[in-house]
Amino acid sequence: MNAPVTRSRVLHRSSRTAPPLAVGGHGVWLVEQGGREVLDASGGAAVSCLGHQHPRIVEAIKRQADRLCYAHTGFFSNEPAEALAEELVGHEPGGLAQAYFVSGGSEAVEAALKLARQYFLELGQPRRSRYIARRQSYHGNTLGALAAGGNAGRRAPYAPLLTDAFSHVSPAFAYREQQQGEDEAAFTARLAAELEAEFQRLGPDTVAAFVAETVVGATAGCVPAPAGYFQAVREICDRHGALLILDEVMSGMGRTGTRHAWEQEGIAPDLQAIAKGLGGGYQAIGAVLVSARIADAVERGSGAFQHGHTYLAHPIACAAALEVQRVIREDGLLAQVRSMGARLEERLTERFGNHAHIGDIRGRGLFQAIELVADRSSRAPFDPALKVHQRIKDAAFARGLGCYPGGGTLDGQRGDHVLLAPPYIVSAAEIDLIVERLGEAVDTAIASLP
Ligand code: PLP
């Protein structure tokens, strides 16, 4: 007889402890084996924008599975991919014109980076092979996306594998980077000057693109840029003939209260990566949205984007994402994100506004975070070794609350944070419950510190 299996055959993120089994879900709730319900206050990692088991999406997946499951994009397009692209792009003259469907956020970022390079090859500018990104950003875990990212901890183990095509400038992170006595306009001007200096250092005609998350997600916790920042960035890129790539894998598709977070910045990107809220977790899907000038250059030039994947434009994934986007539009969920986002911000401010260990409450729409500090007046973070974020995650989970925490940096450039990104269908009572449970979890975690 075989010995009883004592460990999961799945290689989990933590190889020492297998997480509990999720066996069901409804609305904002996930159901564990045994029946306990967990309020999914971060939609996983800002993914589940419609919550769990939405009947329209489940039905759309079944319909498409009955009709056509797979057709290779080397031979065929398919109906859901065409309809999803119609839903997403081509609505403004000169704007985003085409969508390239992949299987997730990292793939979308990789494709955007390569399309930027290809664009300049089509134009006969092969020198443009450099990218500027920002510290404290996250663009995915595949090697190109990891090289673009500026999260020192995530990069460190793989440093020898990462290309040096990327350099990094300061993040637009007011709470940590804005100097005392410096107003918002001066802060923006300083960041713009730094970016300009980086173009000059590299040689402006060697830069293909500047890459940024419109609102920073996982690395620092829902950090919107100061007013005017993206306009300044757009102007610098345009002046030097470089592209602007916005990564809205986490902050896009309605999460901040507009379909694209950049709509609130008065600019538009040349290439945009989207993923999580595109399919809402119902299927694995991401996309690069491509501006008309890039689409035109490829069409007039080589005529092909050299970047195939087996599961490009997967019919079931596209059918699920199409239905997710239709539900968001038809049910008026962007307005719901704005109103419930305002309530979430209000409740967080009531609960944590005077808390001795909450230094900052920030975000947009249903994309909000709190940053923890050891000392409010100096903004000194907790010692990262204390893993305050992990303690909060555990205390919250024990109370039936799922949230998305992140750790501080050894150099003190930011503290621990907790990110909240509830589904767009969250109710007022559920918002209140999220903040109530989070409040208890934060106090429990802090009381547990040595
Ligand atoms: N870009 C951003 C801004 C993200 O937040 C993430 C994931 O968290 C990614 C890219 C990578 O997406 P994926 O995990 O789907 O590969």
What does the alpha-carbon distance between residue 9 and residue 49 come to, in Å, rounded to a whole number? 30
- pLDDT band of residue 94 (cuts 50, 70, 90) is confident
Q: How far is CA 417 from CA 23, 39, 357, in A?
A: 28, 19, 11
Distance, CA 435 to ligand 1 centroid (Å)? 25
- Identify the residue whose tokens are 């979430």: 344
Q: Is the pLDDT of residue 5 over 80?
A: no
Average pLDDT, the chain: 95
CA nearest to 73, candidates 118, 95, 103: 103
Q: Dump pLDDT digits (tens) for 314-364.
A: 999 999 999 999 999 999 999 999 999 999 999 999 999 999 999 999 999
Summarised one tens digit per residue, pLDDT across range 177-233 is 999 999 999 999 999 999 999 999 999 999 999 999 999 999 999 999 999 999 999
Would you state the pLDDT for residue 9?
87
Of all atoms in ligand 1, which is nearest to the CA of residue 137? 3
Q: Within 6 Å (CB) of ligand 1, which residues are found?
A: 45, 104-106, 109, 138-140, 213, 217-218, 247, 249-250, 275
- The arrangement of strands across the sheet holding 29-32 comes to 22-26, 29-32, 37-40, 401-402
Determine the pLDDT at residue 6: 63
* CB-based contact 350:73 (threshold 8 Å): no
Given ligand 1 and candidates 42, 139, 282, which is best to mutate, with the most ligand atoms within 8 Å of its CB? Answer: 139
pLDDT digits (tens, 9 = 90+) for 387-416: 999 999 999 999 999 999 999 887 778 899
CB 78 within 8 A of CB 67: no
Please state, in angstroms and rounded to a whole number, the distance separating the CA atoms of residues 116 and 113. Answer: 5
* Interval between CA 181 and ligand 1 midpoint (Å): 35
Segment 248-267 mean pLDDT: 97
Distance of CA 141 from the midpoint of ligand 1 (Å):
8
Task: Tell me which of 101, 106, 223 to substitute to probe ligand 1's pocket, judged by most ligand atoms within 8 Å of the beta carbon.
Answer: 106
Q: pLDDT tens, 158-183? A: 999 999 999 999 999 999 999 999 99
Provide DSSP, 112-145.
Answer: HHHHHHHHHHHTT-TT--EEEEETT----SSHHH
| 351-391 per-position pLDDT tens digit | 999 999 999 999 999 999 999 999 999 999 999 999 999 99
| CA atoms of 264 and 262, how far apart (whole Å) | 5
Protein residue with its CA nearest to atom 14 in ligand 1: 105
ipTM of the complex model: 0.99
pLDDT band at 3 (very low <50, low <70, confident <90, very high): very low
- What burial class does residue 129 get, using C-beta atoms within 10 Å of its C-beta: 0-12 exposed, 13-18 middle, 19+ buried? middle
Whole-angstrom distance, CA of residue 156 vs CA of residue 399: 34
Task: Output Rg (C-alpha) for the chain, integer angstroms.
Answer: 22
Q: What is the mean pLDDT of residues 27-35?
A: 97
Summarize pLDDT for 145-157 with one digit per residue, the tens: 999 999 888 899 9
Cα–ligand 1 centroid distance for 19 (angstroms): 21
Q: What is the pLDDT of residue 437?
A: 98
- Conformation bin of residue 421: beta by default, left when phi > 0, alpha when psi is -120 to 50: beta
Question: Which residue puts its alpha carbon closest to atom 6 of ligand 1?
Answer: 140
Ligand 1: residue of 134, 138, 155, 253 to mutate (most ligand atoms within 8 A of CB) is: 138
CA-closest candidate to residue 81, choices 68, 66, 92, 91 = 68
Residue with the smallest CA separation from ligand 1 atom 1 is: 139
What is the position in ligand 1's atom list of the atom closest to the CA of 213?
3
The confidence score (pLDDT) of residue 124 equals 97
Are the CB atoms for 142 and 107 separated by under 8 Å?
yes
Q: How many CB atoms lie within 10 A of CB 157?
A: 9
Strand stretches in 337-415, DSSP E: 358-364, 367-372, 401-402, 404-406
Structure tokens at 334: 């962007």
Helices (runs of H) and strands (runs of E) counted in the chain: 15, 17
What is the spatial distance between Cα 190 and Cα 232, in angstroms, rounded to a whole number? 11
Q: What is the pLDDT of residue 430?
A: 98
Question: Which residue's CA lies nearest to atom 9 of ligand 1?
Answer: 140
CA of 147 to the centre of ligand 1 (A): 13
Alpha-carbon distance of 162 to 86, in angstroms, equals 36
State which ligand 1 atom lies nearest to the alpha carbon of 284.
Answer: 15
Collapsing DSSP to helix, strand or coil, 252 comes out as coil
For 115, phi then psi, to 5°, come to -65, -35
Distance 102 CA to ligand 1 centre (A): 13
Q: Which of 42, 250, 260, 285 to mutate to test the pocket of ligand 1 (most atoms within 8 A of CB)?
A: 250
**Ligand 1: centre distance to CA 95 (Å):** 24
The answer to whether 435 touches 60, Cβ cutoff 8 Å, is no
Ligand 1 atom nearest the C-alpha of 109 is 10
What is d(CA 445, CA 387) in angstroms, rounded to the nearest whole number? Answer: 10
